């Protein structure tokens, strides 16, 4: 019987998997950064650069900068403010053993993640000031990203040597719900070169690559594929999935593609309507491979309603989606 790992890797290699994978990045990714996990006196998480983060229900567990905490108020001063830790100071053998101790690496893929450049810029400076810096001081932004990239490269090489990962998860949210935060030229000139450096290292080490990018980011997909990315998540609503599927086929796996904040997050829809919508979702994106199921209801009228609807999402995966390639 094929393992979940091998089935998932088939998807990323552009093959037809034995069963439709259920995308579980947050379960599979190794948060293998020894410089994180510290707390501020107020109890906030602190990253290796000194940024303080928090989360709330609406961010669904995602870490966001604490409002009002600005690390970098002038991009031309980044050399004085942004400092990367010494990657060689860590006992990587011990650290890796601890991180892998409770993981089933035989049956589940090992995924490591590095490489957020746009998000670091706007987190360090605040969103508005970060965008202004990209317009007014693009060379300084590039220089800071290049500095961050050197650190990420060292970190990735340690992770590759000790974790033996199968997948690199690049992650950079460069789009909002209805449009990108930046234009394509800006991405290609100032951010993509750094993503590509990391992607090249992963490819040279026989790894596959997924890209985490929320929002309406379809204008960047050609560039992602050009770098060697073969899977994109969470593939949120607002992108033209039918056109994307037609263009890329199984070359770029759509991991998601369900509208988690759409009509089924609102009152007035029935269980049967949700089931039918989930079936149509699978029937649209499953043909030919290149699809991982990721259907949830993110927001709704009550916790109980969300749990009920998410149970239906689970039900449809188990009873209809999982074995779709065997039944169609």
Residue 170's region, left for phi above 0, alpha for psi from -120 to 50, else beta, is beta
Number of helices (H), then strands (E), in the chain: 14, 11
Angle between helices 303-316 and 271-285 (to 10 degrees): 40
Residue 291 parent element (H or E): strand 291-292
Contacts of 218 (CB under 8 A, 6+ apart): 239, 240, 244
Q: Please state, for a pLDDT cut of 70, what percent of the chain lies above it.
A: 97
> What value does the mean pLDDT of the chain take?
93
pLDDT of residue 261: 85
The answer to whether 196 and 227 are in contact (CB under 8 A) is: yes
Span 39-64, mean pLDDT?
82
What is the CATH topology of the domain spanning 24-233? TIM Barrel (3.20.20)
Whether residue 58 has pLDDT greater than 70: no
Model confidence pLDDT, tens digit, residues 12-34: 999 999 999 998 767 788 877 89
Q: What is the per-residue pLDDT across 271-327, written as a single tens digit (0 to 9) for each?
A: 999 999 999 999 999 999 999 999 998 766 788 888 999 999 999 999 999 999 999
What does the pLDDT read at residue 300? 65
CA nearest neighbour of 118 among 173, 54, 155, 65: 173
Task: Report d(CA 280, CA 197) in Å as an integer.
Answer: 39
Instruction: Return all residues near 94 (Cβ < 8 A) that are at least 6 apart.
Output: none
Listed by start position, the domains of the chain span 24-233
Task: Report which of residues 28 and 183 the model is more confident about.
Answer: 183
DSSP 137: -
Say what the pTM is: 0.94
| Per-residue pLDDT tens over the stretch 222-273 | 999 999 999 999 999 999 999 999 999 999 999 999 998 888 888 788 999 9
Among the listed ranges 2-11, 78-87, 258-267, which one has the minimum average pLDDT value? 258-267
Binning pLDDT at 50, 70 and 90, where does residue 196 land?
Answer: very high
DSSP 190-234: IIHHHHHHHHHHHHHTT-EEEEE--SS-GGGHHHHHHTT--EEES
Averaged pLDDT, 142-162: 97
Q: For the purposes of burial, counting CB atoms within 10 Å of the CB of 182, is it exposed (0-12), middle (13-18) or buried (19 or more)?
A: middle
């Amino acid at each position: 019987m094929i393992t979940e790992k091998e089935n998932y890797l088939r998807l990323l290699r552009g093959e037809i998997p034995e069963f439709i994978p259920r995308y579980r990045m947050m379960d599979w990714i190794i948060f293998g950064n020894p410089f994180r996990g510290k707390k501020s006196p107020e109890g906030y998480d602190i990253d290796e650069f000194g940024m303080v983060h928090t989360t709330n229900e609406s961010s669904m567990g995602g870490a966001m900068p604490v409002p009002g905490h600005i690390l970098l108020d002038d991009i031309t001063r980044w050399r004085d403010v942004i400092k990367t830790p010494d990657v060689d100071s860590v006992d990587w053998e011990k650290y890796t053993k601890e991180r892998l101790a409770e993981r089933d690496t035989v049956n589940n893929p090992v995924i490591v993640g590095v490489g957020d450049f746009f998000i670091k810029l706007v987190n360090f400076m605040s969103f508005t000031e970060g965008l202004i810096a990209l317009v007014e001081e693009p060379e300084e932004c590039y220089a800071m990203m290049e500095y961050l990239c050197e650190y990420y490269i060292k970190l990735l090489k340690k992770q590759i040597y000790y974790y033996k990962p199968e997948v690199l998860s690049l992650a950079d949210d460069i789009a909002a719900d209805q449009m990108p935060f930046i234009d394509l030229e800006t991405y290609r000139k100032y951010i993509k070169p750094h993503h590509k450096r990391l992607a090249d290292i992963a490819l040279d080490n026989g790894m596959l690559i997924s890209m985490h990018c929320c929002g309406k980011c379809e204008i960047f997909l050609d560039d992602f594929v050009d770098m060697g990315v073969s899977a994109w998540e969470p593939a949120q609503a607002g992108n033209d999935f039918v056109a994307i599927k037609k263009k890329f086929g199984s070359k770029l796996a759509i991991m998601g593609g369900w509208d988690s904040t759409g009509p089924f997050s609102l009152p007035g829809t029935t269980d049967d309507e949700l089931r039918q919508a989930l079936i149509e979702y699978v029937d649209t994106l499953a043909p030919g491979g290149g699809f991982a199921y990721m259907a949830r209801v993110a927001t709704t009228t009550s916790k109980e309603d969300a749990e009920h609807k998410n149970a239906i999402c689970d039900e449809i995966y188990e009873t209809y989606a999982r074995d779709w390639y065997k039944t169609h």
